[in-house]
Amino acid sequence: DAGVTQSPTHLIKTRGQQVTLRCSPKSGHDTVSWYQQALGQGPQFIFQYYEEEERQRGNFPDRFSGHQFPNYSSELNVNALLLGDSALYLCASSWGPSGGTDTQYFGPGTRLTVL
Amino acid sequence: DAKTTQPNSMESNEEEPVHLPCNHSTISGTDYIHWYRQLPSQGPEYVIHGLTSNVNNRMASLAIAEDRKSSTLILHRATLRDAAVYYCILRVALGGSQGNLIFGKGTKLSVKP
């Protein structure tokens, strides 16, 4: 049973460019969340997708957008990249409405470097 | 969301028990206590969660204070593979109202051979 997969593993972009990161959830999961983790910090929630809609969003600008496909996979898009967007981007999957007892399964992340 | 407080770092010797504390004095009656850990160069992984009673699973035990204002994650015999950052997180119980995990800086656990 494959866990959460993310691609690419590493990515280098320059300021002003746009980037798309991809995530395939764990088998049987229908909810995908994205997190940004700066060096030495805990992950910060970006947004969550369920039934192809953005269900919840963290404190991130509109430059960060996403999409969920009918097969539950998801993309994270970041426009007009800034140096501060350099981070590890983590995808997590879970099943159904989130709440107190659900468990999120994380992928290994995509390391984005903006030069 | 209620906040948690954890020590920045802890050290342990291999094969000894480890007690990782977490304070959450503003916890509400419906908040679940979750623990995740993040090994080097990996995404976080779920460890355990509980509401009021102590909980055990194959990875660890969770001891919850009677007033629920603190909890302790217990690793019964630390191994080198347990060296990671451990995050204590509170989650509201209402389904669909909170999709995200709110991570602090966690506790960095070092295990010495």
Residue B96: per-residue pLDDT: 47
- Which of B85, B93, B101 shows the shortest C-beta gap to A45? B101
Name the pairing type of β-strands B107-112 and B9-13.
Answer: parallel
**Tens-place pLDDT, residues A15-70:** 999 999 999 999 999 999 999 999 999 999 999 999 899 988 999 999 999 999 99
Binning pLDDT at 50, 70 and 90, where does residue A1 land?
A: low
CA atoms within 13 A of residue B79's CA, in its CB half-sphere: 4
The yes-or-no verdict on residue B106 having pLDDT over 80 is yes
Residue A100: per-residue pLDDT: 63
Q: Are the beta carbons of B32 and A101 separated by less than 8 Å?
A: yes
The residue whose two tokens read 């001891």 is B63
Which strand ranges, in their side-by-side order, compose the sheet holding B9-13? B9-13, B107-112, B84-92, B31-38, B45-50
**Tens-place pLDDT, residues A69-79:** 999 999 999 99
- Cβ of B31 under 8 Å from any chain A Cβ? yes
**Tens-place pLDDT, residues B68-86:** 999 999 999 999 999 999 9
Residues B68 and A94: their CA atoms lie apart, in Å, by: 26
Taking CB atoms and an 8 Å cutoff, what residues of chain A touch B102? 45
Helix (H, G, I), strand (E, B) or coil at B26: coil
Q: Report residue A107: phi and psi, to 5°.
A: -85, 180
Please compute the mean of the pLDDT values over residues A81-97 and round it to a whole number: 93
Q: Report residue B41: phi and psi, to 5°.
A: 60, 25
Q: Are the beta carbons of B99 and A31 separated by less than 8 Å?
A: yes
Taking CB atoms and an 8 Å cutoff, what residues of chain A touch B98? 56, 98-99
Q: Are the beta carbons of A101 and B43 separated by less than 8 Å?
A: no
The yes-or-no verdict on residue B95 having pLDDT over 90 is no
The yes-or-no verdict on residue A11 having pLDDT over 60 is yes
Scanning every residue of chain B, which has its alpha carbon at the shortest distance from the alpha carbon of A47?
B100
CB A99 within 8 A of CB B95: yes
Residue B93: per-residue pLDDT: 61
Residue B2: per-residue pLDDT: 56
**Tens-place pLDDT, residues B18-54:** 999 999 999 988 889 999 999 998 999 999 999 999 9
Closest among B80, B64, B61 to B11, alpha carbons compared: B80
Name the pairing type of β-strands A31-37 and A87-94.
Answer: antiparallel
Mean pLDDT of chain B: 91
Please compute the mean of the pLDDT values over residues B57-63 and round it to a whole number: 95
